[in-house]
Structures are given as C-alpha cells and as structure tokens.
Structure 1
C-alpha cells in the first residue's frame, strides 16, 4: 500500500517541533535541562502530538540529530569519494568531522546517549559513522580489526566525554581536536596528515 503524503499542517508541526527542540538543546547547559513539556510549549503543540509523532524522548532526539546530520553526511560522503584521498587521511577527516559535530551539539548528543531507550550503539547516526570509519580503516595498512578499531575510536569522542572535557575541564575545542589527532597517531602510527583542513 502506498504511503499517503504528509498533510501540510503535520509537516509544519514536525518542523516546528524539530526547530524548537534544536534551539532548546543548544541553549541548555545540561542534556537533562530540556523536557518534552518545554519542547511542546516552544513549538506551540500539545505534548500528545510529540508522543504520537516521535514515540518518546529518544525518538524525538533521534529525529533532531538526523535533521542536523543530513547536510554533514552529504559533505562527508563527497569528501570520502574524492579521488586520491589516502585511507589514513579519510579516517582523520571522518573522526575530526564527528568530533566537531559533537563539540557543537554536545548537549543534544549527550541527551541522545542518555535517552535510555536502547543502546547508543544501535542509533542510526552511530551506525552511519561507524560504517564510514570502518570502511576507511579497512584500507589502512596495519589495522587488524577495522570493526573494533572504529568502535574504539568513536568511544574516544563520546558526547559525555566531549562535554566533560570542554565544560568541566575547560579544554578548548582546538585543544581537543589536537589531542584526538595525537591519539590517532598512537593508534594508527604517525602520519603526515593534518587533523584539520
């Protein structure tokens, strides 16, 4: 059976909810500081609408992350497909792009990791990053288990750790990116690829 197109008012409500949630998480000092009630009020919809549309808090957070990641995914894919890009460079750039996203969206990403509905490792966005990273690591000489290495590298930039280092330890984003580049040198062997472009 063909899926019916979404009604215009339902589409407007969805966009309003995603925009409200995005704004509230960006302004909050804690991933716990944004409730479903807050989001519903900011979007001008009933709380029931949120649950009907997104299922629960985890579903709503996942939808917000997906909307934020969509343009980044496209640019990452294009960079990865660029001719002549060495595998180690692709790994560095992928992990740096993921870290920058986590830095800029650390409360939203920490809320996703803390949503409790399921393992953060089963989230769609995690699967995408892991798959891209694993594919690049498969081509890096000396990496014996690309699947595990991809998980381990992503664990080094969990949102709760990123938030702790920046918000509690007062590490600068540039310092964190530099530390990640050094860690990658330890894991993959020293290379001449810069962490940033």
Structure 2
C-alpha cells in the first residue's frame, strides 16, 4: 500500500475505467471543481476538452485519469477530494480505500486484543488483591506503632485477631508480632 496519491490514482484508474462508475454529470462536476477551485490543476482549455460532449464519457474519463498523474501529487490529491465530495459511495469503494480500511480494521483488532490481554488481572481475582492490600495496610500499622504511642497499643492485639482471614504465613507473622509486643509490656 503506497501513500502516494499518484500511485493510488494509477491503481484506482483501472477500477474507474472498467466499471464505468462515473456518469457524465459526475465527470463534469469533477472537472469543474478541479478547474474553478484549482485552476493550476486544470486550465480552462483543458477543462473544456474533458467536458466536451463530442467524445464518450469513458474516453474523457480515461484521458483525465491519464492526465492527472502527469500534473503531480497535488492534482491527484484534489481529484480524490472532489470525488469524495461529489460521489462518496464511489470514493469509499475504490481499491485503494478498501485496502486502507482493511489495514485499519486489522490494526484495531490487534490493538484491542492486546489491550484486553494487558487488562486481565490473573486467575486469582479481585479478592486476592483486596487481601494483599489489607495485609500490607495491617503490616504498615504494626510497623509504625510503637510502645511510646499508647493510642494504637490496643490496635496491635486487635490486628492479631483480624489475621484469622489471612493465609497461614501472614496469620503466623501477625500473631507472632502481636505476641512479641504483648510480652515486652
């Protein structure tokens, strides 16, 4: 997939020429927009040539699509803008647009699946994390409590009894710490 409008126009030109998606009115609108809004892309003489009813629409379209890549990148870009303004249903069905849309869709799928994988906690679930947080909070309270601070002295004994809901190792640690503090009194 190329980012150059010139390359995209060469790819899409085959599609537009084969299927005859552009009617005479639509081709006239495109030529007029390129002539009136961007006269540096199509001069009056060139616009008159592409709007002439002496030739069939598919022949005028083929000449326009062969002419624009020679005018440069900006001319091809403005053709796409004009096509999007006047015939969005055709613009969205161009081969270059479909490949971009497909590439964007595949990137979205990859991003969303990797995001979901990162957001999954693990098999243990939220109760495990609440328990871990409670353990850390309890240990922090025990660490910062000392004998000089009598306001939290009874909290040490309460924490020893609250350890019943924890795992065996955490329970043993909290109870032993509370017993050591009680013996020091």
TM-score category of the 2 structures, normalised to the smaller one: under 0.3
For the pair shown, which has the larger CA radius of gyration, 1 or 2? 2
Between Structure 1 and Structure 2, which shows a larger proportion of helix residues? 2
Considering Cα pairs closer than 8 Å and 6+ residues apart, tell me whether 1 or 2 has the greater RCO.
Answer: 1
TM-score w.r.t. the length of structure 1 is 0.25
TM-score w.r.t. the length of structure 2 is 0.27
